[in-house]
Structure 1
Amino acid sequence: MSYLTGEFNCKLDAKGRMMIPSDLKKQLPEAEKEGLVINRGLENYLVIYTKREWDKKLDELSKLNEYDRKAIQFVRYFTAGATNLQPDGTGRVNLPKNLLDYAGITSEVVLTCMLNKVEVWDKKAHEKMISNEPENFAELAEEVMGNKGKGRDE
């Protein structure tokens, strides 16, 4: 699998349409044929998946216990608002108003590639999130990535 790379500044038109940047479009060759899926993020941002990646997420969710209340609640909130996006002939996608409202997105947007998905942020919210970078990023890296190999040979 190839991972997505880049950060892109975009603007929405009055109808909530966004042009997919050409550098990002090149990384999503299947988008024209299969479409994309946009959904709410875990915080106040949106997430765009390729149809293939979205189906993988749904496969994971389908394995959860359908009688477990927390699992049901998680699936309900995770999939709430999920919408298929089909780029038009010029490469624009229409972002649903209910999702734009959820993320507080008005007109200026930052698209941030995160491995196999694209986060869609309101520009001001993205700037605030980025400005909260930990003072010691090395400590965070050690905490998250430092024990990657531990326990394999034990």
Structure 2
Amino acid sequence: MSYFLGEYECKLDTKGRMVLPAALKRQMPDVEREGLVVNRGLEEHLVIYTRSEWNKIMDELSRLNQFERKSREFIRKFMRGATELSLDAAGRVLIPKSLQAYAGITSEVVLASQFDKIEVWSKANYDEQWEDEGDDFASLAEEVMGNLRRKENEQ
């Protein structure tokens, strides 16, 4: 399995279109044939998936028990706003207005690679996350990765 790599700053035009950066597009050789899916993230951002990754998520969701209220509620909330994206002749994708509003995107965005997906943040919201980083990252790394190593050693 290959993962996306990189962080890219982009701008939306007045119609809400964004040029997919060439370096990112090279990491998705089948994007023009398969297309992409954009959806709401769990925080105030968007997430872009390749069609094949989206289908894997749909397979997982289809295994949830839809007779359980929490499963139905999660599926509805997760699927809300999911939209298929396709590249136009100029290599642009159109981000729906409703999703732009959800993520607080006006013009400038940051595309942040996250394994098999790409997070789309308004530049202001993305930059805000890093203002008071300080020693928090070291503590977070110790807590998350340290616990992972401990669990691996216990097994």
- TM class by smaller structure: over 0.9
**Count of aligned residue pairs for this structure pair:** 154
Aligned to 1:57: 57
Map 1:1-154; keep pairs closer than 5 Å.
1-133=1-133, 135-149=135-149, 150=151, 154=155
SS in 1 for 2:130: helix
Give the Cα–Cα distance (whole angstroms) in 1 for the partners of residues 34 and 21 of structure 2. 18
Q: Deviations over 1:103-152 (max 9, x none)?
A: 11000111000111000001101111222436242221121112335267
Identity %: 55
Structure 1, unmatched stretches of 5+, are none
TM-score by length of 1: 0.94
Kindly indicate whether the alpha-carbon contact (under 8 Å) linking 1:108 and 1:123 is maintained by their aligned counterparts in 2.
yes
TM-score by length of 2: 0.93
Deviating beyond 6 angstroms after TM superposition, the runs of 4 or more aligned structure 1 residues are: none
Kindly indicate whether the alpha-carbon contact (under 8 Å) linking 1:16 and 1:97 is maintained by their aligned counterparts in 2.
yes
Q: Deviations over 1:25-46 (max 9, x none)?
A: 0001111000000000001100
SS in 2 for 1:43: coil
| Superposition CA RMSD, Å | 1.4
Structure 2, unmatched stretches of 5+, are none
Give the Cα–Cα distance (whole angstroms) in 2 for the partners of residues 54 and 144 of structure 1. 26
